[in-house]
Chain A
Amino acid sequence: MKIKTEMKWRADFALALAAALLLTLIPATGEAWQQGRAPAQPPTKPTGQEAPRAQPPVNKEILKVRLPRAKEATLKNGLRIIVLEGYNQLPTFTMQMVVLSGGLSDPPDRRGLANFTAALLREGTKTRTSREIADQLDSLGATLTTDAGLSSLTSSVTTSGLVKNFDRALDIFTDVIRNPSFPTDELEKYKTRTLAQLQLQRATPNFLSWERFNQAIYDEHPAGIVSPPLDSLQRVTSADFARFHSAHYLPNNAMLAVVGAVTLAEILPKIERVFGDWKSGAAPKTVIPPTPTQPATKIYMIDRPGSVQTGIVLGNLGVTRDDPDYFALQVMDKIVGGGPAARLYLNLRQAHGYTYGAYSQFNSWKFRGTWYAGADVRTEVTEGAMKEFLYELKRVRDEHVTPAELDSAMRALVGSFALSLEQPQTLLQNIITQKLYNLPADYWDTYPQKVAGISAEDVQRAAQKYVDLAHLQIVAIGDASKIRDVLAKYGTVEAYDSEGKLIKATDSK
């Protein structure tokens, strides 16, 4: 299983290589050193005149790309199959079973059950031991991962491998999805491993602030917790898993999505052979709980002695995935904190040198997601960083973004579509998103027009609605002895320890 231990910042910049992008709008001051080897263009005038600037050659046209179409089929038992055919020339495939029940289907006294069930799938089936599954997958050079979040709509099983081994990988994939046995000895091992993991992740600042932020925003809502409660983990039995599995892992409650060097015609008979006799049934409908009313602005300080930075996160409740405001919020997010060309980065990193990066991010689900901004800053500049964050949040509410900012955001969002054509998994996820959230069939084709249709007024309206300064939830993790007084200037401070426990006022100074 995978317990998420990190708040996900901009994935497109997390290229697994050290980041080092810088830029500024602030004019250079002080004495400039210029190291010149040869003028870009011969100066037209002699000394005393500045050499003319060479213009960067930008192609003003946004490259139009045609997104590939998926082919679809449905088995008699209701299993929907989606295939993105022959994608790129690498002889590999990725196959994902998306079960339409996840953490949102957990029984209230068994939070994490969907997550545990997914994790245990590969720890034993009716005919294979955990070790055999590992051996066989590794022999094929295939990977198999499972996932179900604590408040997710779905559970998923994903396998990737070489097309040559498609049949054998499909065999194991089918077995873990249809015939898991949840052996008790593996369950015990899983429990001790997970208990240790839950403890270890409390060493990571990002996990702690993510936990606190979600708690602040969602409270009792299922999204209020981001890792399984210990008592729940200790309580669950193999019988609970079997029950969850038989109630939810049903062909008419699932989608099978495949991308790679395969065709629907060639794999459909194979899928039919292994999943054709999977019995359909009535899966309990997922209830989407309402998100809570937001409390007044508060600062949640997490004391992490030894910290040399303060990790700051500020945010609010955002939108559901199908909300008409989605595009306005997306453009606003891009302009405020969507990368190294955005306001937060320019301000906190480029102009002030407070941080390695300051970004904003939003997510959206069947229930309302969040919009949040954040950065890790050195302890001494916690106050300056808070001031600049609040300045930028207020600014986007109070003033129209400039036509240049709007145009740049649009060009960035639409232009980068070409890059996604090299990432088949991204394209497949887009198709799954469109289906899960019942978005229009032409959703991704009309995406550029929708982004281009957002005006400065739309952005401001989204900011005023979703950057709610009266109900802003602020998390700051760091050395409490050094940041408490600074934070208190910005509102009521509530202190927590790294176990996630509230520190009573009498315990602290």
Chain B
Amino acid sequence: MREASKILTTLIVCVLLSVGAVAQQAPKVRIDFKETVLKNGLRVITAEDHQAPVVSLALTYNVGGANERKGRGEFAHLFEHLMFQGTQNVGPGEYSNLILNNGGIANATTGDDRTAYFETLPANQLELPLFLEADRLRGLSVTEGRLDKERNVVQEERRMRVLNQPYGRSDEVLTEMLYDNFAYKHGGMDSMEDINAASLEEIKEFFKTYYAPNNAVLVLVGDFKTDEAVALVKKYFEDIPRQPDPPAVDLSEPEQKAERRTTVEDALARAPQVSLGFKASRGNTPDLYALQILSAALGGGRSSRLYQKLVKEREIVNDISCSVDERSGPSALYITATLRPDKKTEETEAAIYEEIERVRREPLSDLEIEKAKNATTLAFISKIQTSLFRAIFISLYAGYFNDPNLINTWLDKTDAVTKEDVARVVEKYLRPTNRTVVITMPKAKAASTGTAGQ
């Protein structure tokens, strides 16, 4: 039995914070976890935490939208739905019933880089989610009828979240334009047709290739004894055979040489929207941490530069936000502004560029850096309040960056950002030639014929 174990830290969540004008001390998160690799390659991470009588499980597979082929958009997501549709042992109705009717909650999420399944339950039900996750990794049972139903459900999810909402397509269009490499580029464009085209044969192949113990990370956080929990994981998972390692995906992006721009007409929107994207380096790099701080200083909180200038002072936008989409591969910083209905997009764009130019000319002040770090810190700590989210983040960090301990070092990395770092990333990424612009214009009422999103 090949097994690697390491004890990383000694304390459970213990956060020491010091924020103020003097004596800055980096906040600390310390989550003690143990790592075990089963002989079939399944990476298992356990973190005992006895604050509440709860156990949480996150199982992340190293597969997502980036692994999809041309003509098969939304395939990873459709597959995720099928993971709830039963096995030889658990009927199509039983999976969620078992979790929910024992006081738990369960869900799953598909991203471009990873697919994560997760559950949280009262602590005395630890064995149940382990059984269920192992059972569906061992083998699915899917019919044509079920697949067709799930096509409908996935399409309905897309209609609800994207096609029936104002600005729904704009974010997708921005991503489709910003990326060159198919892996991240293929947004929702043809996905309704692609969902219909997926076959049971392809589903089978996808399962075999990517849903393998050696392509997954299992994280348990909560009220259990580590030895007992690891023994249970072995009981349920260890005899699931390893598969050949799936092919790696090339995520590389060529350098962008000129601004990209388009206009989207939206029958459902009531005011114009300006969306900007700036392609950046891959996640968990010093540049990305500097962009996080920049993003908070520009658009986080009511004292941020963009809010104060565009919302309060000039009153041209109703809402403005700045965010960093951190990925395994090339990431991006986004700025989105919804205009006052009577304002012009040109004026708004110019005002945003002035603020970017200002941050390039006059670096952030110490106070602004401090505020950005404080906001980022509080947001991070709030995010990992429950065992479920601690499990999810550990598993995603393991999956994205091969670094589960990032949950303990994320704040240090953020705290290490200097003014100079921020100035560097502004210069490097927030250039006009690295900019992608999507303008959304409300489509005139008379012209609307119920064809949005086709």
Contacts and interface: CB of A to CB of B under 8 A. Distances in A.
A31 B107 CA distance: 27
B41 interface: no
Contacts of B91: 24
A356 B141 contact: no
B90 interface: yes
A296 interface: no
Given A22-B84, A32-B142, A33-B141, A481 B156 contact: no
A108 interface: no
Which of A20, A139, A193, A346: most chain B Cβ within 10 A? A20
B204 interface: yes
B225 to A, nearest CB: 16
Given A134-B302, A412-B101, A421-B53, A23 B145 contact: no
Interface stretch (A87-95, A96-104, A452-460): A87-95
B15 A90 contact: yes
B98 A58 contact: yes
A181 to B, nearest CB: 17
Interface in A319-351: 339-341, 346, 349-351
A378 B450 CA distance: 13
Contacts of A61: 124
A28 B381 contact: no
Contact of B85 (A22, A91, A307): A22
Nearest to B442: A203
Contacts of A139: 367, 370-371, 374
Interface stretch (A49-57, A150-158, A216-224): A49-57
B196 interface: no
B152 A353 contact: yes
Interface centre among A22, A415, A482 (most CB of B within 10 A): A22
Contacts of B338: 200
A421 B301 contact: no
B97 A341 contact: yes
A24 B97 CA distance: 9
Question: Chain B CB within 10 Å — which of A34, A40, A346 has the most?
Answer: A40
Interface in A16-33: 17-26, 28-33
B279 to A, nearest CB: 24
B165 interface: yes
Nearest to B14: A89
B135 interface: yes
B189 to A, nearest CB: 16
Interface string B333-373: 00000101100000000000000000000000001001101
A42 to B, nearest CB: 10
A173 interface: no
B318 interface: yes
Contact of A349 (B153, B240, B373): B153
A127 interface: no
Contact of B124 (A59, A203, A411): A59
Interface in B109-142: 109-110, 116, 120-125, 127-128, 131-132, 135, 138-142
Given A56-B132, A92-B382, A139-B371, A340 B156 contact: no
Contact of B54 (A62, A137, A419): A419
A376 B107 contact: no
B374 A377 contact: no
Contacts of A88: 51-52, 385
A203 B267 CA distance: 10
A290 interface: no
Contacts of A421: 51-54
B107 A13 contact: yes
Contacts of B315: 189, 192-193
Best-surrounded residue of A18, A54, A131, A306 (most CB of chain B within 10 A): A306
A204 interface: yes
Residue with the greatest number of chain B CB neighbours at <10 A, chosen from A56, A199, A200? A56
Interface string A127-154: 0001100110111111100000000000
A417 B207 contact: no
Interface stretch (B171-179, B250-258, B268-276, B415-423): B268-276
A165 B19 contact: yes
A164 interface: yes
Interface string B151-170: 11101110110011110000
A504 B156 CA distance: 32
A489 interface: no
Given A411-B102, A419-B54, A377 B156 contact: yes
Given A20-B81, A56-B94, A422-B51, A36 B103 contact: no
A423 interface: yes
A122 to B, nearest CB: 8
A91 B97 contact: no
A419 B387 CA distance: 10
A364 interface: no
A21 B387 contact: no
A492 B359 CA distance: 59
A356 B89 contact: no
A316 interface: no
Given A131-B308, A200-B338, A415-B103, A53 B89 contact: yes
B105 interface: yes
Contact of B17 (A19, A36, A164, A204): A164
Interface string A470-484: 000000000101100
B69 interface: no
A96 B138 CA distance: 49
Contacts of B128: 56-59
B229 interface: no
A143 B103 contact: no
Contacts of B108: 18, 20-21
Contact of B156 (A15, A65, A202, A376): A376
A162 B378 contact: yes
A29 to B, nearest CB: 5
B378 A38 contact: no
Given A306-B448, A307-B450, A415-B122, A135 B84 contact: no
A138 B374 contact: yes
A245 to B, nearest CB: 21
B449 interface: yes
B81 A134 contact: no
A161 interface: yes
B264 interface: no
Contacts of A438: none
B92 to A, nearest CB: 4
Contacts of A20: 77, 80-81, 84, 107-110, 157
Contact of B84 (A15, A21, A308): A21
Contacts of B155: 378
A35 B139 contact: yes
B109 A18 contact: yes
Given A53-B89, A339-B100, A40 B135 contact: yes
B139 A356 contact: no
B106 interface: yes
B241 interface: yes
A90 B385 contact: yes
A409 B103 CA distance: 9
* Residue of A19, A307, A351, A409 contacting most chain B CB atoms (<10 Å): A307
B138 A38 contact: yes
B156 A354 contact: yes
Contacts of A304: 268
Contacts of B101: 341, 408-409, 411-412, 415
B377 interface: yes
Given A88-B51, A353-B152, A418-B54, A33 B340 contact: no
13 contacts: A28-B86, A59-B125, A138-B304, A143-B378, A199-B341, A305-B449, A308-B164, A376-B156, A411-B102, A412-B100, A419-B104, A421-B51, A421-B52
Given A40-B135, A88-B51, A416-B103, 14 more contacts: A33-B143, A35-B140, A38-B240, A51-B88, A63-B123, A160-B378, A164-B17, A196-B341, A203-B269, A203-B270, A308-B163, A355-B153, A356-B156, A415-B102
Which A-B residue pairs are the 5 nearest by beta carbons? A415-B103, A141-B374, A353-B152, A306-B267, A36-B139
